[in-house]
Structure 1
Amino acid sequence: MTDEVPNRPRADPTFEHRRHGDRKHDSGREDREEWVWVLDYLPYGRETDNRPVYQKKPLIHALGDNKLILMELIPVEDKIPPVHIKTHIGNRDEEYVERVKSRIPYDDLSHGAVLELPLVLEDYVKENEDRFIQFFSKAEPLSMRQNSLELLPGVGKKLMLDVLEESKKGPYEGFEDLKARVPALHNPEKLIVQRIIEEMKGGQKYYVFAAPPSRSMLNPEEGGSGSGSGNNGGRQGHRGSGGGGYGRRRE
């Protein structure tokens, strides 16, 4: 008999916990990435590209602002984007990105991008504090035995119960309010960043913040490395609000 909670109410559609494999495809503008955070600029493309230097083209490794997907981009000619900048994809003369080349898995990130990713995500989480704090205020059960808060690294039963009990007194107003009311939770922002990176690496039972790897990335023989538009899983929200709505469970 399954331990999943039947007909579980959705406290907040921003963090809708779906099971990995229960894929729902979106369409339209909200499913596309329009803004990205630059993680690394590769003037000669990937390090694994063995072609002669004159044949290599610059690339950008970036984080999508809409769905938190990792992307490989074609830069505008003769423009070098600063690392850590948030920029628009195409159609703006002052921007750095011409177009999306593909979605890429975590393991394909350049060394520089891997180092920059936690720093960018920290800024991303703080920029979207009002949204991410709802994860703590409206934490949902994943099953009869587990709450979504326990997906965060280092959060056990006792700390989870402390957060839930305190939230009954009223929603958390921000990270500082959360830390003041639950002193044992020292740095919730970093816990979210760590969880996001774990989800980006794949192999998770649940995906809460980031899009799960596409089938084409998990099984290359199914074709390609995925789409830069991120058509993998339903997200509810809008551009720039953060990449949630992916809580899926692996079948």
Structure 2
Amino acid sequence: MREEKVIVLDYLPQGYAGMKKMEPIIQGLGVNYFALLELVATKEVKLNEEVKINDKEKVIYIRRKLKESELTNFAKSHLEETIKKIVKSKEEEFIKFFNTSTRISIRMHKLELLPSIGKKHVGLILSERKKPFESFDDLKKRVGITVEIEQMLAKRIIEELKGEEKYYLFVPHFPTPTAPRR
């Protein structure tokens, strides 16, 4: 599971204030797995530009993986719009999620983890998906969801990026190691 491309959320030409070594920093969102990454840049990049990580003309190396709380305020303000753009471009994959999602437990379905989807909508989605959904518009029309599906999915992805969820649907979760018990 490796990100190959990131969308630039913020570009800091001098790096962070107080850094020992001044190097240009890119804060980016991975296109495939929604990983938040901090990259060291070789030359200036534009906001919302899609950058290949192995492109040595623009990126020297990946510095580290970021948490949502470590993003700059500017990057946080562009995060939801950027996620919506990625969701729209990967509509087929997300429709497949709606068509094939299963239960998490006896009482809970994966669809219930999405904001604005309750038990009634889950029941409607499950009964309507006997004929698979073809697009977000088809899903909205047949089920009667009033919110924008891209925005609903973007909100869920942001919650997962914060790293405090019990279940992860779209963002691979790598727990931070805990201190050993004594």
TM-score relative to the length of structure 2: 0.91
Partner of 2:152: 191
Q: Percent identity?
A: 36
User: Larger RCO: Structure 1 or Structure 2 (Cα < 8 Å, ≥ 6 residues apart)?
Assistant: 1
Confirm or deny: 8 A CA contact 1:200 1:211 kept in the other structure. no
Aligned partner of 1:180 among 123, 141, 149: 141
Greater fraction of residues in strand? 2
**Structure 1 runs not aligned, ≥5 long:** 1-30, 223-251
Give the aligned CA root-mean-square deviation in angstroms: 1.8
Partner of 1:87: 51
Confirm or deny: 8 A CA contact 1:105 1:201 kept in the other structure. yes
What is the correspondence of 1:1-251 to structure 2 with a 5 Å cutoff?
Answer: 31-46=1-16, 49-51=17-19, 55-76=21-42, 79-93=43-57, 96-168=58-130, 170-216=131-177, 219=178
SS in 2 for 1:38: strand
Q: CA, structure 1 residues 51+193, in 2 after alignment: closer, same or farther (shift >3 Å)? A: closer
- CA distance in 1 between partners of 2:126 and 2:9 (Å): 35
Shift of 1:63: 0.9
Q: CA, structure 1 residues 44+214, in 2 after alignment: closer, same or farther (shift >3 Å)? A: farther
Paired positions, count: 180
- CA distance in 2 between partners of 1:119 and 1:136 (Å): 21
Moved over 4 A (4+): none
Confirm or deny: 8 A CA contact 1:75 1:98 kept in the other structure. yes
Shift of 1:34: 1.6
Shift of 1:92: 5.0
- CA distance in 2 between partners of 1:122 and 1:34 (Å): 19
Query: What do the CA deviations read for 1:167-215 (whole angstroms, capped 9, x no partner)?
Result: 12x1110111111111234311111110000000011110000122431
What amino acid does structure 2 have at the position aligned with 1:72?
Answer: E
SS in 2 for 1:40: strand
Confirm or deny: 8 A CA contact 2:116 2:147 kept in the other structure. no
